[in-house]
Chain A
Amino acid sequence: MSQFQLMGIFDDEDGVKSAVRAAKEQGLRIVEVYTPYAIHGLERLLGLKRSRLSIVCLIAGALGAGLKLWFEIWASAIDWPINVGGKPWNSLPAFVPITFEVMVLFAGLFTVLALFMVTRLYPGKQAAIIHPQVTNDRFAVLIEESDASFDVDRVREMLKQHGAVEVTERLTAEVPA
């Protein structure tokens, strides 16, 4: 089964913001907003939940720091103790720089990997661009028919009112759940 969608193309961000606000007030279902750059405050208008990437970052950082610290202690105090300048085997200050570096490395790599996994990105993936100009100077707001009360003409009128330069209809295969 396919879904009926209306796509409003805008040429400035204020129009996008007011259209999104109006659509939310009318209880319309906004599938996605495509913009060439990040519009500050849009995520709050759309009511998006906070990204969970920061949690991934925190856990990966703690994991990296913990593993590296364990390895350093194991290597320099248990497995192969070497006397360096008469310092104790477990000299924490000496471990700090490497622990810090590995923490940053883990946190960075795992955050990027998690981002790729969540957004299903991989090398060589074909770009799915909804409108050729959203990567340049246009903004697209995609609204989906959610129930029987969806009035195509009214939604089209609403989008136009908020400055849409073009409104197109499209049918899409239902996204598998």
Chain B
Amino acid sequence: MSQLEFTYQPPRALVQTLAALVGLGVLTWVAGLFVDPQRAWGVLLMVSFWLLSMGLAGSLFVGLQYACGAGWAVAFRRIPEAMTAAFPLGAAGLMMVFLFHPEIFPWVTHHGKAGSFHAIWLNRPFFLARAIGYFVIWFVFSAVLIRNSQRQDVDGDMRHTRRNIRASMAYMVVFSFTFALASIDWVMSLQPEWVSTIFGMYHMSGLFVSGVAMIILLMLWLKRSRPLCDFVNDEHLHDLGKLLFAFSTFWMYLYFSQYMLIWYSNMTEETVYFILRHEGVLKSMFLLNFILNWAVPFTILLPIPSKRSPRVIASMAVCVLAGRWLDLYMGIMPPITNGHVAAPWMEFGMMVGAMALFVLAFLAWFRRAPQTPVRDPLLAQSLSYHS
């Protein structure tokens, strides 16, 4: 793509291990299809949604930086750009679920009352058309942002930045509506009788906080393994730490807002969501969810030194990513398995496969362009940045 010299070659052993793990994930899924097809399709929905969110978090982060005119993140912008590579993979996995096993959505077999809003909104043709619409919108915006950024490497033209700023502003608005609707379509409609208006926002905060955690891990890794060692420093880490801290709290804010209102009004049609997630093992997982996603990162990241320490912040990023998986599990799986928790070999196998697939896709894209946007007008500002 780019004529500029860039010789990053990920270690062969790493790529082979990752490929093996992806294979393991696929095998787990195939085995799962024989053992418990309903659950296997549910887990496929979960891991695909995770991949999709990771990819979208990448383009959302890039768009956010352009829309705010922020310069600090330019030095490592190639990381979120390359993360978008996961988005088509997630979209493909979701389409497989929607086309080949739509029965995991209860409204496919039990229609709502004819003419009601439920029946109009939740019917298969419209559902599929919406899904394709979301994918196309996200794909176009992500592709435009990344293409302009990489073209700038070659000619250093300011027009690319200006175009990206305009595209990002539109993307921010379009994204919030489309992603809110998408999470309602794909996750909330697993329990179609239950509605929550904060659900889209809540999923968006989860998407962003896990995306920031992933950017932190990838940045630390690429800094240590050379490609980014001359470009990023503790100042960038500090600001990413602030974002992780802030969005972890934001996630908790929305999660609790949803919980408290339902708990307080105590109406049968609303509490059904939490009752399903309060039985047996799920109850401790429910508590663990907010410990991993908020309580631990909040307390640990409160002092400044921990936001500047690679070791502390990497472990908090891992904590938030684990919390994200748990949050997705709690959102998606209980309605599919009727709240029954079995030995989670299927979940873990496919999770590992999805994460390996993510890293493979990331590496494949990261190699396609110079490791930092060499001619971005804000690069100098990012390199000499003080948080």
Q: A50-B304, A85-B266 are in contact. Are A97 and B260 (CB under 8 A)?
A: yes
B386 to A93, Cβ gap below 8 A? Answer: no
Q: How far is the CA of A50 from the CA of B387 in the complex (A)?
A: 14
Q: Is the interface of A mostly helix, strand, loop or mixed?
A: helix
Q: A41-B386, A50-B304 are in contact. Are A96 and B266 (CB under 8 A)?
A: no
Q: How far is the CA of A41 from the CA of B259 in the complex (A)?
A: 43
Interface size class on chain A is 10 to 19
Q: How far is the CA of A130 from the CA of B264 in the complex (A)?
A: 58
B259 to A93, Cβ gap below 8 A? Answer: yes
How far in angstroms is the closest Cβ of chain A from B345? Answer: 35
Q: Check: A94 CB closer than 8 A to any chain B CB.
A: yes
- B264 contact from A41, A44, A50, A93, Cβ within 8 A: A93
Q: How far is the CA of A54 from the CA of B387 in the complex (A)?
A: 16
Q: Which residues of A contact B260 (CB under 8 A)?
A: 93-94, 96-97
Q: Check: B263 CB closer than 8 A to any chain A CB.
A: yes
Q: How far is the CA of A33 from the CA of B62 in the complex (A)?
A: 37
Q: How far is the CA of A155 from the CA of B343 in the complex (A)?
A: 75
A93 to B263, Cβ gap below 8 A? Answer: yes
Question: Quick one: which of B264, B304, B385 has the most chain A CB within 10 A?
Answer: B264
Would you give the 0/1 interface string for A86-111, flagging 1 where the beta carbon is closer than 8 Å to chain B? 01000001101100000000000000
List residues 241-295 of chain B with CB under 8 A from any CB of chain A: 256, 259-260, 263-264, 266
Q: How far is the CA of A109 from the CA of B386 in the complex (A)?
A: 28
Q: Is the interface of B mostly helix, strand, loop or mixed?
A: helix
How far in angstroms is the closest Cβ of chain B from A37? Answer: 14
Q: Which residues of A contact B387 (CB under 8 A)?
A: 40
Q: Which residues of A contact B386 (CB under 8 A)?
A: 40-41, 44
How far in angstroms is the closest Cβ of chain A from B384? Answer: 9
Q: How far is the CA of A96 from the CA of B256 in the complex (A)?
A: 9
How far in angstroms is the closest Cβ of chain A from B367? Answer: 34
Which residue of chain B is the closest to A94 with respect to CB atoms? Answer: B264
Which residue of chain B is the closest to A97 with respect to CB atoms? Answer: B260
Would you give the 0/1 interface string for B353-387, flagging 1 where the beta carbon is closer than 8 Å to chain A? 00000000000000000000000000000000111
Question: Quick one: which of A50, A93, A94 has the most chain B CB within 10 A?
Answer: A93
Q: Which residues of B contact A93 (CB under 8 A)?
A: 256, 259-260, 263-264
Q: How far is the CA of A40 from the CA of B266 in the complex (A)?
A: 51
How far in angstroms is the closest Cβ of chain B from A107? Answer: 12
List residues 70-127 of chain A with CB under 8 A from any CB of chain B: 85, 87, 93-94, 96-97
Q: How far is the CA of A20 from the CA of B382 in the complex (A)?
A: 23
Q: How far is the CA of A49 from the CA of B179 in the complex (A)?
A: 45
Q: Which residues of B contact A58 (CB under 8 A)?
A: 302
Which residue of chain A is the closest to B384 with respect to CB atoms? Answer: A41
How far in angstroms is the closest Cβ of chain A from B380? Answer: 13
Q: How far is the CA of A94 from the CA of B260 in the complex (A)?
A: 7
> What are 15 A-B pairs at a CB distance below 8 A?
A40-B385, A40-B386, A40-B387, A41-B386, A50-B304, A54-B304, A85-B266, A93-B256, A93-B259, A93-B264, A94-B260, A94-B264, A96-B256, A96-B260, A97-B260
Task: Name B residues whose Cβ lies closer than 8 Å to a Cβ of A.
Answer: 256, 259-260, 263-264, 266, 302, 304, 385-387
Q: A58-B302, A93-B256, A96-B260 are in contact. List 8 more A-B contacts (CB 8 A).
A: A50-B304, A54-B304, A85-B264, A87-B266, A93-B259, A93-B263, A94-B264, A97-B260
